[in-house]
Amino acid sequence: MPKIHPTAYVDKRAELAENVEIGPNVYVGPFVFIDEGTVIKAHSYIETHTRIGKNNQIGPFAVIGTPPQHLSYKGEETYVEIGDNNIIREFVTIHRGTSLDEGITRIGNNNLLMSYVHIAHDCKVGNFVIMSNNATLGGHVIVYDRVVMGGFSAVHQFCRIGSFAFVSGMSGVVKDVPPFVKVFGIPAKIQGLNIVGLKRASFSKEEIRKISQALGIFLDGPATLSEVIQELKDIFGEEPWVKILIDFLENPSRQGIMRRRATEGENG
């Protein structure tokens, strides 16, 4: 049976699986499902239409499943979905989606969201993502797997952050961040390859060399984006890690893809 503190409120329309723990003064609203092993710590607020997977650690004072901060929202039934094994620290806010998108804000598995992180409506966050204190995502942002975002960084709505990218603290992202790079500044610019991140992820020297070569073609070539994509395909074929970059470049958001390399004076 779930373990529910006497001071907590759990709506009768909520569903709690085995071994769920609900701490003091927690609010769990209607149409919330919480799966096995998840712990909701003191004073957290989970409003409605939220599905939380297994073995998550949430709170205290986290706020999840509240309405989107969007003037077009008129009370439509929209959702938050959170996967398994996430650590969601104190004062994190995660809002439901809107009818302007799929209506779902989705968090994957094995993520660390540090204190005061904000994930706005309709965002999609992948797996093994680290968002440091006060990192903020505007609406409709997509964050791919194994991204690291530094403290107080912010991402403009509709942008994408590619896999294995590193967004330095205090950065303002206004265009799509390609995979494998590190960015810094306001507006953020590409500093180079995220070598530290790739080494920590156990990429081989040969894999890093190929990714670096592909990134150089993307950043330094005078060609159009479509010409860069074709050149990458011609040189690397189906090389799996380079294909991640190619796939990303083939599907830009409305914000466009960050391509400018920072000058020496702009390096963080």
How confident is the prediction for the chain on average, in pLDDT? Answer: 96
| pLDDT in the model for residue 261 | 81
Global confidence as pTM: 0.96
Which residues constitute the domain of residue 222?
Answer: 199-266
* Cα 243–chain centre separation: 21
Annotation says 43 is catalytic: no
Residues 130 and 11 in one domain: yes
Helix (H/G/I), strand (E/B), else coil: 234: helix
Annotation says 122 is catalytic: yes
Q: Is 11 domain-assigned? A: yes
Instruction: Tell whether the model's pLDDT for residue 140 goes beyond 90.
Output: yes
Q: Is 231 domain-assigned? A: yes
Annotation says 95 is catalytic: no
| β-pair partners for 124 | 106, 142
Instruction: Tell whether the model's pLDDT for residue 268 goes beyond 60.
Output: no
Angle formed by the axes of helices 205-220 and 240-249, nearest 10° = 30
* Catalytic residue of the set 35, 122, 145, 176: 122
Residues 10 and 134 in one domain: yes
Q: Whole-angstrom Cα distance, residue 243 to residue 211?
A: 10
pLDDT band at 263 (very low <50, low <70, confident <90, very high): confident
* Catalytic residue of the set 23, 139, 150, 197: 139
φ, ψ of residue 252 in degrees (nearest 5): -70, 150
- Residue 237 contacts by C-beta under 8 Å, 6 or more apart in sequence? none
Residues 203 and 132 in one domain: no
| β-pair partners for 107 | 82, 125
Instruction: Pick the more confident residue, 265 or 133.
Output: 133
Q: What's the domain count of the chain? A: 2
Residues 116 and 224 in one domain: no
Residue type, 8: A
* Catalytic residue of the set 43, 49, 118, 121: 121
Which of 140, 156, 173 is the last residue before a domain boundary? Answer: 140
Which of 140, 172, 187 is the last residue before a domain boundary? Answer: 140
Q: Is 245 domain-assigned? A: yes
For residue 61, give the CATH number of its domain: 2.160.10.10
For residue 212, give the CATH number of its domain: 1.20.1180
Mean pLDDT of 109-121: 98
Residues 117 and 13 in one domain: yes
